[in-house]
Structure 1
Amino acid sequence: MSKIPVDLLMGWDIVVVDDEPDSLEVARYILDFYGANVYTATNGKEGLDLVEEVRPRFVISDLSMPIMDGWEFLSNLKSTGYMRDIPVIALTAHAMKGDRERAIAVGFHNYLTKPLTAHTFMDELLVLLLDIPQLSEYLTI
């Protein structure tokens, strides 16, 4: 891993929503390593319930999931007053041309592609977090 301080996300509550166990495990392991309290859900409906309960600093959400996909999850989240301003980063294995722009256009703060790997995940995530004003002010690198 890079030279990111291991306490970078100390005490941050983060929700990760993904129906793939491997992606959830990689995200959980790495975010936990950097001090975060990680909560996971396997579909958007569970994710909404968790976000309401936890009120995380940010959310990482897969786009393609059963029951409620990431697009509907974001739409529901953005329509709920106090949850509207929680940053959400899209996560998908279907990285097609224009997908990033589409995701940002509907309200995702940015976009990560799968597969998540321990080698690159935190570096890629940190770049995205630094671009979100309400989060970057709390990051000390």
Structure 2
Amino acid sequence: MARILIVEDTPGNMVLTSMLLESKGHTLFCAERALPGIAIAQQEALDLILMDVQLPEVDGLTAMGLLKGDARTRVIPVVALTAYAMKGDRERLLASGFDGYIEKPIEPMVFLDEVERLLSKGGT
């Protein structure tokens, strides 16, 4: 199965995403802040990163840019995991460089379908 990093600062969201992904047999890495998440991505062979957009200290958009600018991590798909769900938010985040977009609150089946779509797109 896939190796997935979740970068999420809300405990409830971390628990839910972790439970859903573990139920599908994925190996998880977790970080509550962007910079520790980036460090994990640089050290581990990951298949996917789920990145909260609204993070303290360094936001998810900045973190995604750092990941895409690093030769070690630029090929890892990064998915915006966000409560930004207004008209145009999805398009804006995808245009900024995210490889996918998942709205919060998370709907379990939609979440799992999108993760699987992105993993199969990446050849994992």
Q: TM-score, normalised by structure 2?
A: 0.91
- Aligned residues of 2:33 and 2:55 also touching (Cα < 8 A): yes
Identity %: 34
Counterpart amino acid of 2:30? T
Instruction: Choose which of 67, 76, 88 in structure 1 pairs with 2:78.
Output: 88
Q: Which residue of structure 2 lines up, in the alignment, with residue 3 of structure 1?
A: none
Q: Which runs of 5+ in 1 are unaligned?
A: 1-9
Q: Which residue of structure 2 lines up, in the alignment, with residue 121 of structure 1?
A: 111
**Secondary structure in structure 1 of the residue aligned to 2:72:** helix
Consecutive aligned runs of 4 or more in structure 1 exceeding 6 Å deviation: none
- Aligned residues of 1:26 and 1:117 also touching (Cα < 8 A): no
Structure label with greater radius of gyration: 1
Q: Which residue of structure 1 lines up, in the alignment, with residue 19 of structure 2?
A: 29
Structure 2 residue 37 is the aligned partner of structure 1 residue 39: no
CA RMSD of aligned residues (A): 1.5
Would you say how many aligned residue pairs link Structure 1 and Structure 2?
124
Q: Which runs of 5+ in 2 are unaligned?
A: none
CA shift at 1:128, angstroms?
4.2
- Aligned residues of 2:4 and 2:29 also touching (Cα < 8 A): yes
CA shift at 1:94, angstroms?
2.0
Please give the residue correspondences for 1:99-138 in structure 2 after superposition, counting only pairs within 5 Å.
Answer: 99-130=89-120, 132=121, 134-135=122-123, 138=124
Counterpart amino acid of 1:28? S
Q: For 1:95 and 1:117, locate their aligned partners in 2 and report how far apart those are by CA, in whole Å.
A: 13
Instruction: Choose which of 41, 52, 67 in structure 2 pairs with 1:51.
Output: 41
Counterpart amino acid of 2:53? L
Instruction: Choose which of 46, 52, 64 in structure 2 pairs with 1:62.
Output: 52
